[in-house]
């Protein structure tokens, strides 16, 4: 009977929480998923329940960890959805109001006002991001305006604001803390100094006392508590934003890696700097400075490259998988059934799922969803085919922007639940004209959290992680250049229509 160490990884995402147990060889030995709900109380508003998030973490862990092996867990790694924001009472730990989702558009009006007042360039320079309701800063203002309009309680240190990592760690007790990569997605952090920036705090009306202390990605986080069979006090060794965790699981510290995660939305990420590009964001991928020995791979590239704060170039697409789940809701069925019955795309229907505006590379919160080219012969399968096209075109829009800012992307590394669809991967290769390498393990965010936690616990090095990279399946473009160009043109014309 095996008695080696185990790493428990939890990925708290938008539609579910996943948990994995990984052994010392990096093999996944157990896994479980707990579903989550979201609410749309008004058009454009998307909320989740912070308490339900915490309970889903407990349920996923309980489903994954057998009481007989719990004592072998040496490290916990956490990956989380980003930008979504909660406000809670520091003393009681009880949330005030909803968790405002990254998808939420309630602050679009405030965003427009700040843009009209000329705040955009400064916000971008300091935070690395465009003014957009997706980021946490305006959600922070909204929550404080709703629950502490005078800011008296916030300034007195009675309230805590935090992204999902911070919220979950608060359930373990201890300090109010957050991880730097997650913090860099709030639009309140200075992306160069990795500190809360006074100018941003002033602009968004957020007192610093309400914000968590920023920690590196492998740091002294509050130890696990209340996670079912997991012994209280089991150390949390690593925390990463979910997209960053997926990048880490692709051994994304290697030069030239560009990945796309296909989830509710999508994130296309590379390490580096977007330069003058306004299509992409600049954030912190991770900071491994507390992670100990990196092995040869760490030394080879110099400690500064691998162990300090590492910048990432990223484009976020708001709705990719969400387009499919929306169709499933509409037709009262599930996504798999829709995928199974969808005919090949004829490319005549354009579906731009700008349900909550458009993110990268367009960054237009006022864009509206568009469905065009319907005929009396259009069937639901045709809409599904158009939704799949929309996913790959949107990803390609961002990859093209990355081409222009950090250099030609030869291979796109793909992960996320939707990559199970070989059809989607083939379409991505075709409409991108690039090789697409699908990860053998779709839930890479969870594995990335495990990889980082095991690294920090000394169970393996970066070199080990490179050596045991999970095999991928390659998809090569087969579409001829002309068909691809025409299809891209039709798509870009449809994007224009979302702006009217
Ligand atoms: O930026 C939002 C992202 O972190 C959410 O990811 O996987 O929950 O759709 P996911």
201 belongs to a structural domain: yes
CA of 83 to the centre of ligand 1 (A): 9
Let me know: does 204 contact 241? Beta carbons within 8 Å.
Answer: no
Let me know: does 433 contact 399? Beta carbons within 8 Å.
Answer: no
Q: Which of 38, 85, 242 to mutate to test the pocket of ligand 1 (most atoms within 8 A of CB)?
A: 242
**Is 300's pLDDT higher than 50?**
no
Residues 368-384 have pLDDT tens digits of: 999 999 999 999 999 99
Q: Which of 16, 60, 265, 322 to mutate to test the pocket of ligand 1 (most atoms within 8 A of CB)?
A: 265
233 belongs to a structural domain: yes
What is the share, in percent, of the chain residues with pLDDT greater than 90? 85
14 belongs to a structural domain: yes
For residue 32, with 0-12 CB atoms within 10 Å meaning exposed, 13-18 middle and 19 or more buried, which class applies? middle
CA of 365 to the centre of ligand 1 (A): 18
CA of 392 to the centre of ligand 1 (A): 17
CA distance 451 to 21: 11
* Ligand 1 atom closest to the CA of 264, numbered from 1: 9
**Helices assigned H by DSSP within 171-257:** 180-183, 198-204, 242-249
CA of 344 to the centre of ligand 1 (A): 28
Averaged over 114-128, what is the pLDDT? 96
Let me know: does 87 contact 247? Beta carbons within 8 Å.
Answer: no
Residues 6+ apart with CB under 8 A from 192: none
CA of 263 to the centre of ligand 1 (A): 7
Nearest to 120 by CA among 103, 108, 132, 106: 132
Residues 152-166 have pLDDT tens digits of: 999 999 999 999 999
Containing structural domain, residue 184: 6-242
* Ligand 1 atom closest to the CA of 321, numbered from 1: 9
pLDDT of residue 183: 98
Q: Are strands 236-241 and 213-215 parallel, antiparallel or unpaired?
A: unpaired
CA of 342 to the centre of ligand 1 (A): 26
CA distance 134 to 281: 12
CA of 177 to the centre of ligand 1 (A): 20
Closest residue to atom 5 of ligand 1, CA basis: 81
pLDDT of residue 302: 41
* Ligand 1 atom closest to the CA of 134, numbered from 1: 1
342 belongs to a structural domain: no
pLDDT of residue 276: 81
* Ligand 1 atom closest to the CA of 185, numbered from 1: 1
Nearest to 26 by CA among 5, 40, 47, 56: 5
Total domain count for the chain? 1
* Ligand 1 atom closest to the CA of 102, numbered from 1: 2
pLDDT of residue 383: 96
251 belongs to a structural domain: no
51 belongs to a structural domain: yes
**Is 261's pLDDT higher than 60?**
yes
Sheet holding 6-12, edge to edge: 28-35, 16-23, 6-12, 73-80, 236-241
CA of 104 to the centre of ligand 1 (A): 13
Closest residue to atom 3 of ligand 1, CA basis: 81
Q: Residues lining ligand 1, CB < 6 A?
A: 13-14, 81-83, 102, 242-243, 263-265, 316
Residues 303-350 have pLDDT tens digits of: 345 668 999 999 999 999 999 999 999 999 999 999 888 898 888 899
214 belongs to a structural domain: yes
**Is 86's pLDDT higher than 90?**
yes
Residues 6+ apart with CB under 8 A from 310: 253, 271, 284, 285, 286, 287, 288
Q: Which of 12, 14, 104, 182 to mutate to test the pocket of ligand 1 (most atoms within 8 A of CB)?
A: 14
Q: How far is CA 159 from the centre of its chain?
A: 26
Averaged over 353-379, what is the pLDDT? 93
Residues 6+ apart with CB under 8 A from 122: 199, 203
pLDDT of residue 457: 96
447 belongs to a structural domain: no
262 bridge partner residues: 266
CA distance 337 to 99: 31
Averaged over 251-263, what is the pLDDT? 91
CA distance 87 to 85: 7
Nearest to 234 by CA among 71, 47, 109: 71
**Is 267's pLDDT higher than 50?**
yes
Averaged over 445-458, what is the pLDDT? 96
Which domain CATH number covers 120?
3.30.420.40
Let me know: does 70 contact 230? Beta carbons within 8 Å.
Answer: yes
CA distance 250 to 265: 19
Closest residue to atom 1 of ligand 1, CA basis: 82
Residues 5-53 have pLDDT tens digits of: 999 999 999 999 999 999 999 999 999 999 999 999 999 999 999 999 9
Coil, strand, or helix at residue 475? strand
pLDDT of residue 246: 95
Let me know: does 411 contact 270? Beta carbons within 8 Å.
Answer: no
Dihedral sign (CA 182, 187, 188, 193): positive
pLDDT of residue 500: 67
CA of 345 to the centre of ligand 1 (A): 27
**Is 275's pLDDT higher than 90?**
no
Dihedral sign (CA 159, 161, 167, 169): negative
* pLDDT higher at 395 or 290: 395
Q: Output b/e per residue, 75-95; b: 16+ Cβ within 10 A.
A: bbbbbbbbbbbbbbeeeeeeb
What confidence category does residue 299 fall into, taking pLDDT thresholds of 50, 70 and 90?
A: low
pLDDT of residue 165: 98
**Helices assigned H by DSSP within 171-279:** 180-183, 198-204, 242-249
pLDDT of residue 347: 86
């Amino acid at each position: 009977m095996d008695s080696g160490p185990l790493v428990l990884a939890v990925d708290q995402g938008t539609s579910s929480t996943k948990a994995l147990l990984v052994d010392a060889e990096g093999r996944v030995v157990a896994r479980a998923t707990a579903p989550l709900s979201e609410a749309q109380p008004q058009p454009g508003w998307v909320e989740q329940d912070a308490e339900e998030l915490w309970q889903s973490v407990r349920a996923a862990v309980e489903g994954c960890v057998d009481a007989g092996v719990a004592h072998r867990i040496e490290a916990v790694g956490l990956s989380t959805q980003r930008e979504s924001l909660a406000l809670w009472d520091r003393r009681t730990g009880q949330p005030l109001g909803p968790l405002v989702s990254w998808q939420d558009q309630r602050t679009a009006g405030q965003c427009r006002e700040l843009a009209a007042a000329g705040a955009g360039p400064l916000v971008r320079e300091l935070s690395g991001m465009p003014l957009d309701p997706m980021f946490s800063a305006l959600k922070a203002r909204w929550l404080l305006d709703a629950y502490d309009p005078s800011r008296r309680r916030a300034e007195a240190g009675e309230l805590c604001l935090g992204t999902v990592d911070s919220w979950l760690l608060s359930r373990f007790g201890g300090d109010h803390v957050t991880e730097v990569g997650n913090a860099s997605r709030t639009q309140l952090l200075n992306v160069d100094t990795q500190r809360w920036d006074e100018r941003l705090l002033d602009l968004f009306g957020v007192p610093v006392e309400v914000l968590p202390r920023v920690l590196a990605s492998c740091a002294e986080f509050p130890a696990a508590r209340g996670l079912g069979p997991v012994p209280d006090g089991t150390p949390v060794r690593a925390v990463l934003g979910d997209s960053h965790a997926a990048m880490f699981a692709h051994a994304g510290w290697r030069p030239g890696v560009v990945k796309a995660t296909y989830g509710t939305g999508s994130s296309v990420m590379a390490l580096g700097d977007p330069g003058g590009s306004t299509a992409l964001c600049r954030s912190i991928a991770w900071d491994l400075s507390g992670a100990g020995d990196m092995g040869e791979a760490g030394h080879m590239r110099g400690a500064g490259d691998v162990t300090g704060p590492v910048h990432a170039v990223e484009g976020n697409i708001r709705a990719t998988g969400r387009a499919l789940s929306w169709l499933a809701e509409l037709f009262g069925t599930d996504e798999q059934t829709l995928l199974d019955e969808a005919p090949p795309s004829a490319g005549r229907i354009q579906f731009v799922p700008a349900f909550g505006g458009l993110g990268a590379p367009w960054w237009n919160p006022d864009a509206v969803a568009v469905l065009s080219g319907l005929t009396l012969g259009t069937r639901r399968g045709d809409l599904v085919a158009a939704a799949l096209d929309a996913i790959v075109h949107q990803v390609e829009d961002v990859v093209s922007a990355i081409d222009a800012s950090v250099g030609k992307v030869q291979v796109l590394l793909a992960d996320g639940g939707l990559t199970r669809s070989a059809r989607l991967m083939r379409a991505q290769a075709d409409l991108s004209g690039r090789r697409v390498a699908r990860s053998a393990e779709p839930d890479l965010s969870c594995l990335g959290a495990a990889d980082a936690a095991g690294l920090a616990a000394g169970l393996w090095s970066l070199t080990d992680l490179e050596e045991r990279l999970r095999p991928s399946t390659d998809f090569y473009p087969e579409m001829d250049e002309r068909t691809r160009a025409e299809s891209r043109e039709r798509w870009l014309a449809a994007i224009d229509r979302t702006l009217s």
